[in-house]
């Protein structure tokens, strides 16, 4: 009898659930959009209860569409947004909103951490000081002390939802190890909370959850949520992982030297290496743990890189009913020579995350009378490729020469042949698309199936679930031709960072 896994991805734009077979086929899926609550001072939040409901409702809809009997569901696996947190009380209920990774209020806590020693923090945690758990925890402690006292544990979205589905209390709260680089207080290499860091910043270590493996069974589905979702009570729930970790694992980052481009709302370039060497010098790469034990997935990303494309499309065709299709914008940009006739675009509309620079903003540089919509659009595509090239340069300085074979491309941006060709040419590495846009959902299935004994090998099973699409080979000499514009791009970003820093 075929076994199935329930998989849920709690993303920024919404929650997607899927029923995945033991062969890796997504039998049915469902989506519920998120509601982002924005306010003054950089506030971006979500209602944790809405997150929970979105999972239950999307699972029920996917299960009904699949026709799979509840008794054939072997386990439940979840992933979720990584750099944001929320606080729960002793019973496991939320006492704070979800403090989103897009929320920048915690910036006020960053100088305290940097003054203590950002390089030391990077060596311990694997990540630079940015809009993530560490500054956010200190912000709640300093700015909302009454709420901070009520927080029994800080948790991430996937752990919160799993905890509610299983009826876990704060004493059973957890965080899986793929989130640790964002935690601000974990020794990521030793997989433990750092007494040095909690002591230095006065954070109560009792508010930090247990650190677990992604495939550990953390509980079983409560009867009331089972009825609401159409599942069997007692279905095992595994810890799961972060959404980027899931997309990386499901996208083939399971052997050293592999690369993955996640071309979504945030433009992410990740690699797989077998040793820990955090980026204390440039403070750009986040040295994250891979789902696969013993491997690391260093990555960097542009906060809203992919969103710049949607912004530009809305800018040039504000009438949604008659908006230019992305295919048409790509066709127009095909006619522009590489380098966009000297036009450079900076995609850091909300500041740079990797490395963190809150003052930096977006810009076009080098505009002349000949530049039109096509050149402006192409310059956005090229800017993301230039960022990726910088990330790889840094990684090679840290890890030595890496025998890259190809870049696997996932996400909405991977549908653009032009975008893929530009990345291949700028990096000098073939780009191969993944047919499935749901690599995180299939990754959850592998992790959950491994946790309940359905699969015997994490890496091999993840590879067997991969389905490849088109391959984009770099044009001969293209990396060299793009060297000068890529260098000018880097100079422009550095100069603008200094300029905006002086415009206070």
Domain range annotation of the chain: 4-239, 252-304+392-476, 323-388+483-502
Cβ proximity of 43 and 52 under 8 Å: no
Classify 344 as helix, strand or coil.
strand
Please answer whether residues 257 and 295 qualify as being in contact, where contact means their C-beta atoms are separated by less than 8 angstroms.
no
- Specify which residues 288 forms β-bridges with: 297
CA distances for 387 relative to 252, 303, 360, 391, 464, angstroms: 22, 12, 15, 6, 31
Provide the pLDDT for residue 360.
92
User: Where do runs of H (alpha helix) occur along 37-83?
Assistant: 48-66
pLDDT in tens, 427-438: 999 999 998 767
pLDDT of residue 410: 87
Which CATH architecture does the domain made up of 323-388+483-502 adopt?
2-Layer Sandwich (3.30)
Residue 293, classified by CB atoms within 10 Å of its CB into exposed (0-12), middle (13-18) or buried (19+), is exposed
> What is the CATH class of 4-239?
alpha beta
Q: What are phi and psi of 267, to 5 degrees?
A: -90, 110
DSSP label at residue 72: G
Provide the pLDDT for residue 405.
Answer: 83
| Fold classified for 252-304+392-476 | Nucleotidyltransferase; domain 5 (3.30.420)
Cα distances from 139 to residues 156, 200, 251, in angstroms, run: 16, 15, 34
pLDDT in tens, 356-387: 888 899 999 999 999 999 999 999 999 999 99
Which of 221, 99, 216, 205 has the alpha carbon at shortest distance from 168?
A: 221
Radius of gyration of the chain from its Cα atoms, rounded to whole angstroms: 22
Instruction: Please report the pLDDT score of residue 124 as a whole number.
Output: 98
Average of per-residue pLDDT across 22-34? 96
Taking the model in full, what pTM does it have?
A: 0.90
Q: Do domains 4-239 and 252-304+392-476 have the same CATH topology?
A: yes
Distance CA 42, CA 103 (A): 6
Whether the per-residue pLDDT at 317 is higher than 90: the answer is no
Per the DSSP assignment, residues forming a β-bridge with 242 are 80
pLDDT of residue 377: 97
Q: Looking at residues 185-214, what average pLDDT do you find?
A: 98
**Measured distance CA(218)–CA(52) in Å, rounded:** 17
Q: Name the DSSP letter for residue 233.
A: T
Q: How confident is the model at residue 322 (pLDDT cuts 50, 70, 90)?
A: low
Residues 396-405, mean pLDDT to the nearest whole number = 82
For the cut 80, the answer to whether the pLDDT of residue 321 exceeds it is no
For 162, phi then psi, to 5°, come to -60, -40
**Mean pLDDT over residues 201-220, rounded?**
98
Q: Tens digit of pLDDT for each residue in 110-163? A: 999 999 999 999 999 999 998 999 999 999 999 999 999 999 999 999 999 999
pLDDT surpasses 80 at 323: no
pLDDT at 199 over 90: yes
Q: Residue 409 and residue 472: Cα distance in Å, rounded? A: 10
Residue 21: alpha-carbon gap to chain centroid: 25
Report, as an integer, the average pLDDT of 235-263: 94
d(CA 431, CA 469): 10
């Amino acid at each position: 009898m075929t076994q199935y896994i329930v998989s849920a991805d709690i993303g920024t734009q919404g929650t997607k659930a899927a029923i995945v077979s033991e062969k890796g086929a997504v039998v049915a899926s469902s989506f519920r959009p998120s509601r982002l609550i924005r306010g003054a001072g950089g506030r971006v939040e979500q209602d944790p209860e809405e997150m929970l409901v979105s999972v239950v409702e999307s699972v029920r809809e996917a299960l009904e569409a699949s026709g799979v009997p509840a008794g054939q569901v072997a386990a439940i696996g979840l992933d979720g947004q990584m750099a944001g947190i929320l606080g729960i009380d002793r019973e496991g209920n939320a006492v704070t909103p979800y403090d989103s990774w897009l929320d920048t209020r915690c910036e006020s806590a960053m100088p305290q951490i940097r003054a203590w020693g950002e390089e030391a923090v990077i060596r311990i945690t694997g990540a630079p000081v940015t809009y993530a758990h560490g500054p956010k925890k200190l912000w709640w402690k300093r700015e909302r002390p009454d709420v901070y006292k009520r927080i029994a544990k800080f948790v991430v979205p996937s752990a919160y939802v799993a905890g509610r589905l299983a009826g876990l209390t704060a004493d059973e709260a957890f965080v899986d190890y793929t989130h640790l680089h964002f935690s601000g207080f974990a020794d990521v290499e030793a997989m433990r909370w750092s007494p040095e860091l909690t002591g230095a910043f006065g954070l109560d270590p009792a508010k930090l959850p247990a650190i677990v493996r992604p495939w550990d069974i953390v509980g079983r589905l409560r009867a009331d949520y089972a009825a609401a979702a159409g599942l069997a009570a007692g279905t095992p729930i595994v810890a799961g992982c972060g959404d980027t970790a899931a997309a990386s694992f499901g996208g083939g980052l399971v052997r050293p030297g592999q690369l993955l481009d996640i071309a979504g709302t945030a433009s992410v370039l990740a690699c797989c290496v077998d040793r820990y060497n955090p980026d204390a010098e440039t403070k750009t790469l986040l040295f994250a743990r891979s789902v696969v034990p013993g491997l690391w997935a260093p990555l960097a990303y542009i906060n809203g890189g992919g969103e710049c494309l949607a912004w530009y499309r809305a800018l040039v065709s504000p009438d949604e009913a008659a908006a230019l299709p992305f295919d048409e914008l790509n066709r127009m940009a095909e006619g522009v020579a590489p380098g966009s006739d000297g036009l450079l675009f900076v995609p850091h509309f909300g500041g740079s995350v990797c490395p963190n620079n809150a003052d930096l903003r977006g810009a076009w540089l080098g505009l002349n009378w000949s530049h039109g919509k096509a050149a402006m659009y192409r310059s956005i595509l090229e800017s993301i490729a230039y960022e990726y090239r910088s990330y790889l340069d840094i990684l090679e300085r840290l890890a030595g020469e890496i025998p890259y074979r190809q870049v696997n491309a996932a996400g909405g941006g991977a549908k653009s042949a032009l975008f893929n060709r530009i990345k291949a040419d700028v990096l000098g590495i073939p780009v191969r698309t993944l047919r499935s846009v749901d690599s995180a959902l299939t990754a959850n299935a592998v992790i959950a199936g491994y946790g309940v004994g359905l699969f015997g090998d994490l890496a091999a099973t993840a590879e067997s679930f991969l389905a490849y699409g088109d391959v984009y080979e770099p044009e001969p000499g293209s990396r060299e031709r793009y060297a000068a514009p890529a260098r000018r791009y880097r100079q422009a970003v550095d100069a603008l960072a200094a300029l905006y820093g002086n415009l206070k």
